[in-house]
Structure 1
Amino acid sequence: MSKAKRHIETEAIRTQLKRTEFLEHTSPLYLTSSFVFEDAEDMRASFTEEKERNIYSRFTNPNTSEFVDKVCQMEGAESGYAFATGMAAIYSTFAALLKSGDHIVSARSVFGSTHTLFTKYFPKWHIETTYFDVNKPETIEACITENTKILYAETPTNPAVDIIDLDLLGRIAKTHNLILIIDNCFATPYLQQPMKQGAHLVIHSATKLIDGQGRVLGGITVGNTDLIREIYLFARNTGPALSPFNAWTLSKSLETLAVRVDKHCDNALKVAEFLENHPKVNWVKYPFLKSHPQYKVAKKQMKLGGNIVAFEVKGGIEAGRQFLNQLKMCSLSANLGDTRTIVTHPASTTHSKLSEADRLEVSITDGLVRISVGLEHAEDIILDLEQALK
Structure 2
Amino acid sequence: MQRTIVKESAAPQGFSTLSVHAGEDRQKPIDSITDPIVCASTYTFRSTQAVIDYIEQKQQREEYGRYGNPGEKVVERKLASLEGGEEAILYSTGMAAIVGLFMSKLNAGDEVIFFDECYHRSREFCVKHLSRFGVVTRQVRACDYDAMEAAVNDRTKMLVSESPTNPHLSVVDWERFADIGRRHGVDTLIDATLATPYNVRPIEYGVDYVLHSATKYMGGHNDLLAGVIVGSTEKLEPVRNLRGIMGAINSPHNIYLLERGLKTFELRMDRHNANGLAVAEFLESHPRIEKVYYPGLETHRDYEIARRTMRGFGGLITFLVKDADWRQTADIIDRVQIARIAP
TM-score bin (small chain): over 0.9
Confirm or deny that 1:120 pairs with 2:128: yes
Give TM-score scaled by structure 2 length.
0.94
CA-to-aligned-CA distance 1:83-141 (integer Å, 9 cap, x gap): 01110001001111111111101111111110101111111001011112114222110
Q: Of 312, 317, 327, which residue of structure 1 is paired with 2:326?
A: 317
CA contact (8 A) 1:76 1:195 kept: yes
- How many Å separate the matches in 2 of 1:241 and 1:91? 13
Q: Deviations over 1:319-345 (max 9, x none)?
A: 2211112222220011xxxxxxxxxxx
Percent identical: 28
Name the CA shift for 1:189/1:149 in 2 (closer, same or farther; >3 Å).
same
- 1:288 aligns to what? 296
Tell me whether 1:12 sits opposite 2:19 in the alignment: yes
* Structure 2 residue aligned with 1:207: 215
Query: Could you tell me whether the CA contact under 8 Å between 1:285 and 1:309 is conserved in 2?
Result: yes
Does the 8 A contact of 1:19 with 1:27 survive in 2? no
Asked if 1:246 is matched to 2:254, the reply is: yes
Q: Which amino acid aligns with 2:326?
A: I
8 Å Cα contact 1:276/1:284 also seen in 2: yes
1:1-390 alignment runs, 5 A limit: 3-15=10-22, 16-20=24-28, 22-314=30-322, 315-334=324-343
Cα-to-partner distance string for 1:259-307 (whole Å, 9 max, x where unaligned)? 0011011111110011001111111111111111100000122110111
Deviation at 1:19, TM superposition (A): 2.5
Segments of structure 2 that go 5 or more residues without pairing to the other structure are 1-8
1:180 match: secondary structure? strand
**C-alpha RMSD of matched pairs (Å):** 1.5
1:159 offset after TM fit, Å?
1.6
Q: By how many angstroms is 1:7 displaced?
A: 1.5
- Counterpart CA distance in 2 for 1:127 and 1:171 is 23
| TM-superposed deviation, 1:46 | 2.0
Shift of 1:20: 3.9
Equivalent pair of 2:29/2:35 in contact (CA under 8 Å): no
Q: In structure 2, how many angstroms separate the alpha carbons of the residues matched to 1:209 and 1:227?
A: 26
Q: How many residue pairs end up in the alignment?
A: 334
C-alpha deviation, 1:168, in angstroms: 0.5
The separation in 2 between residues aligned to 1:110 and 1:17, in whole angstroms, is 38
CA distance in 1, matches of 2:60, 2:236: 16
CA deviations on 1:141-189 (whole Å, 9 max, x unpaired) are 0010110010111000012211111110111111001111111100111
**Alignment-mate amino acid for residue 107 of structure 1:** F
* Preserved contact between residue 8 and residue 73 of structure 1 (Cα < 8 Å): no
Residues 1:322 and 1:309: Cα distance change in structure 2 (over 3 Å): same
Instruction: Specify the SS of the correspondent of 2:66.
Output: coil
In 2, the alpha carbon distance for the partners of 1:204 and 1:85 equals 9
Q: TM (normalized to structure 1)?
A: 0.83
User: Structure 1 CA distance, aligned partners of 2:65 and 2:212?
Assistant: 21
Structure 1 unaligned runs (5+)?
A: 335-390
Moved over 3 A (4+): 47-50
CA contact (8 A) 2:28 2:34 kept: no
CA contact (8 A) 2:115 2:143 kept: no
Aligned mates of 2:161, 2:42 — CA distance in 1: 37
Distance 1:307 1:253 in 2: 17
Tell me what 2:3 maps to: none
Q: Which amino acid aligns with 1:329?
A: I
Deviation at 1:30, TM superposition (A): 1.2
